[in-house]
A and B are shown apart, each in its own frame.
Chain A
Amino acid sequence: MLKNDKDNVIKFLETNLVPILFVIIIAFALPLSGFSVRYLFNEIIVRLVRNLFLVLALLLPIMAGMGLNFGMVLGAMAGEIGLIFITDWNITGLHGMFLAMILSIPLSILLGWMCGKILNRAKGREMVTSYILGFFMNGVYQLVVLYGMGSVIPIASDSIVLSRGYGIRNAVNLTGIRQSLDKLLPLKIGTTLIPVATFALIAVLCVFIIWFRRTKLGQDMRAIGQDMAVAEASGIDVARTRIISIIISTVLAGFGMVIYLQNIGTMNTYNSHEQVGMFSIAALLVGGASVNRAKIGNAILGVVLFHLMFVISPMAGKNLIGQAQLGEYFRVFVSYGVISISLVLYAIRKQRDKARAGIALADAQEVRD
């Protein structure tokens, strides 16, 4: 009985080591930062609205056993291209935001399909492959945006084209669509403004994910995630299903990027997408997800904890040793650190499970003999 309890505690700690670690860091840094609860609540609402859609976009590939989709930056790039076009055409408000989303769909599907095809050739090494693929596509994106737009692809607006006549400026002002979704249905509670419409859109995505898990395709993905060989043997088209999961994730990442940038109001043309993948993945892992298991709750908890740390660490760093920059370094260090810890834990757990299964098999054989 006692051994069982001990095992459960160990298992709980193993599964939730990263969130526990984060809670401890936050508990330590929170009083040092000196921020009020009201300020932090406001910040968390903003961060949830900005990032949650992007983080939720990662769930389907995990379900399909493809791990953390670093290739989501491809979708983010598609979203940015949609935003460049609507800025050039001067489409404002919600119309502009949704048009950018629609424009991103074909590009996201194409990039997602390409990514899925490549990942199917790199089974078992999906994460590192999608990570490098993100870098590769970043180069292609820069080539298209820096040299293709304004020369081959018509861009008329002087406000976004570089003075030489082609290429997009480093920063694109999105004032036309800035917070168009966030301010659609604002609910004021005290001094906090709750963007109900954005949360409603996120809720729709959550419902979609729950519904999707129950569909035939969703069940296929879960089967593939559990055991690819068994799924293949039972007649599931593994390659196709995996490609679909990556396509959906990429399309959702494109939407998420549009929501993210409409909240900020400025697009950093050549950098905005770069860290989106890493930060979203880190946030999901902080929420207690792992390479092969992630739920909506992990995404929500992850965004809250990860961004709470983001908000308080610079001030905590400043108050602790007099330098806010420490907090800035801390952010990046923690992001990479969290991903590393999660990957190491996943590998340890996998090896241990394998060993346990071996012992169980040996025991069963002994009993039979």
Chain B
Amino acid sequence: MRDGLKLYRRLVAASWRAALQYKFSFLVSIFFNFWLSVTDLLVVLTIVYSTNTVGGWNLAQIGVIYGVVGIGKALFRTFGSELHMFQDYVIRGEYDGILLRPWPSLLVLLSRRFEFFRLGGVLQAGAALLLSLHYLGGPRVLGWKYFYLLLLPLTGTVIIFAISVAIAACAFWFGRIRDLQTLAFYAANYAASYPTSIYPGWMRTLLTLIPVTFVGYIPVKFALGLGGSAWYLVLPWIVAALTWVLSLLLWRAGEAAYQSSGS
């Protein structure tokens, strides 16, 4: 485990150095990514401005969910870009090379490439989270829950990664999974940036099964005093652990079914 982390750090550092070879272009792309992801925020702002509240949540409260989910999404795109592209590994048979290394395959896969410019999105979502928490009164009003919410993107990111591993694993059987990824991952994450309570029942069930609703909505709801029980604060950890176990089992079964490609 410790060895694995050491290797991972080393590979991140190499990729970081490669990105910095073109410093100016790197900074510009972070800047653009920041503003590009601000457009997501504009959509939220527009909706809430025209209706004042959404499902009984005001702008700052939604901003907390948005920030938590947004940080998870952007961290995923930064450090999980190879999962985003995973169908290509399977279709072109490039996964062969991953399996030839004497390390856990997911570690090797995830250390192949990083899209550091997407840290711009992390900055943007982080700013939204901080501003929303500030607007809600900061630590004076929220007390320890302020710090809970600041750390919530951690479990959120872990859940988002686990979901994306499960969906990527489907490529081992079905090859092309872009549609599935778009529907079950990106659309679901987008939907989870709002309070899940605004959606019809079938969609709430879907968002619970996938289980993006535990990334932001469930814990934020209780932490901001909008209902639920203290359980809601622990659930994300349990869900994160369970989702990872299931995802890793699926990944392993997928590897055994991997067909590579003709050469």
**A and B interact:** no
Q: Which residues of B contact A (CB under 8 A)?
A: none
